[in-house]
Structure 1
Amino acid sequence: MAEDPIDLICLEGDGNSVILRVAGKEQRKRPAESDALVGEFLVDTPFVRGTLKTWIFPEDLREWQQALDSLDAGRDIAWCEGKRNPWLFVELDEDDDRCTVTIKDHSMSLTTVTVTVPLVDAWFDDAYRRLDLVWDTWPMTED
């Protein structure tokens, strides 16, 4: 039986949301290929709504861990920048418990969407839990 999707990234509030939903592991076409997860960014605001398919590799999950650590330390992050995948940027608002989240699809639609959402301290525990859940649900190896 297939596992239920897991929201690896879930930034939402004030009517806006940016979610990276992981649907499962993609079948490898060749034995030498690294495992990959199939995911989809979902952006929803009162003004714009859209989805964007992506693939997540083991190194992406490790980099997401590092990005979470940086965010938790109060630094802005860029995740998957320079890769073929969509890029995710999170900029913290120093005066408020909010952040600006930007998804940039530089390879297919050539579209960039920016959304502002709340980001409170409690979000971080949940974000680390979601990452662990993805690793536990779909263990991945690199070749």
Structure 2
Amino acid sequence: MSDSPPRELISLADDEGNSVSVNVLGLDPSWAAGLRAEIVVTTPFVSGRIDLGLFVARLECWADALDRLHAGEDVAWMKMSRGPSISIQLTGEHDCPEVVVKDDSSSMVTVRVPIDPPNGWIADHRRRLRRVIDHWVPMLSA
């Protein structure tokens, strides 16, 4: 259904049951310039979620991270800000990409998830980002 707001900004999953996603939940009622979101980690061993605030600068940083991934670089998204961060290492310990979700400011938990994404996953995430920006950013106040 194309009328529904885009929900998945990030959706990295593989056939082994490992996934990391960032879901946009909607406008943040307590902050006119932000979106409510969540990071969700699911594996056969561990699962969890953490709240996340998104704003335009974070979306722009994700666009930059996708460009760097396309160029073959590892990235850390939201590492320098308060709250959780997501890093993507293109060659992790298991010879496939590894997503690292860290929550140093609250739970102090780090989760490493090896994920073998399908071909074209970076282009797919650029399309996801564009849909989120096109739908949600016009609703945010500066």
- Shorter-chain TM-score category? 0.7 to 0.9
3-state SS, counterpart of residue 78 of structure 1: strand
Question: Would you say 1:24 and 2:26 are equivalent positions?
Answer: yes
Residue of structure 1 in register with 2:134 after alignment: 136
- When the two structures are aligned, how many residues end up with a matched partner? 137
Alignment check: 8 A CA contact 2:75 2:87 kept: yes
Q: How has the CA–CA distance of structure 1 residues 56 and 127 changed in structure 2, closer, same or farther, with 3 Å as cutoff?
A: same
1:69 deviation in Å? 0.3
Q: How has the CA–CA distance of structure 1 residues 97 and 73 changed in structure 2, closer, same or farther, with 3 Å as cutoff?
A: farther
Aligned residue identity for 2:84:
P
Residue of structure 2 in register with 1:69 after alignment: 67
1:85 deviation in Å? 2.4
3-state SS, counterpart of residue 139 of structure 1: helix
3-state SS, counterpart of residue 105 of structure 2: coil
Alignment check: 8 A CA contact 1:28 1:35 kept: no
> Higher strand fraction: Structure 1 or Structure 2?
1
1:25 deviation in Å? 1.3
Alignment partners' CA distance in 1, 2:29 and 2:137: 13
Alignment check: 8 A CA contact 1:25 1:37 kept: yes
1:97 deviation in Å? 7.5
Q: How has the CA–CA distance of structure 1 residues 116 and 25 changed in structure 2, closer, same or farther, with 3 Å as cutoff?
A: same
**Structure 1: which 5+ runs fail to align?**
none
Alignment check: 8 A CA contact 1:5 1:24 kept: no
3-state SS, counterpart of residue 89 of structure 1: strand
TM-score, with normalisation over the residues of structure 2? 0.87
Pairing 1:62-101 to 2, within 5 Å after superposition: 62-93=60-91, 98-101=96-99
Residue of structure 1 in register with 2:117 after alignment: 119
Q: Percent identity over the alignment?
A: 37
Alignment check: 8 A CA contact 2:6 2:135 kept: no
TM-score, with normalisation over the residues of structure 1? 0.87
**Structure 2: which 5+ runs fail to align?**
none
Alignment check: 8 A CA contact 2:101 2:110 kept: yes
Residue of structure 2 in register with 1:43 after alignment: 41
3-state SS, counterpart of residue 118 of structure 1: coil
Aligned residue identity for 1:26:
D
What are the superposed Cα offsets for residues 66-113 of structure 1, whole Å, 9 maximum, x if unpaired? 00000011100000011012111100118x882110000011111110
1:121 deviation in Å? 3.5
Alignment check: 8 A CA contact 1:97 1:119 kept: no
Q: Runs of at least 4 residues of structure 1 off by over 6 A?
A: none
1:119 deviation in Å? 2.9
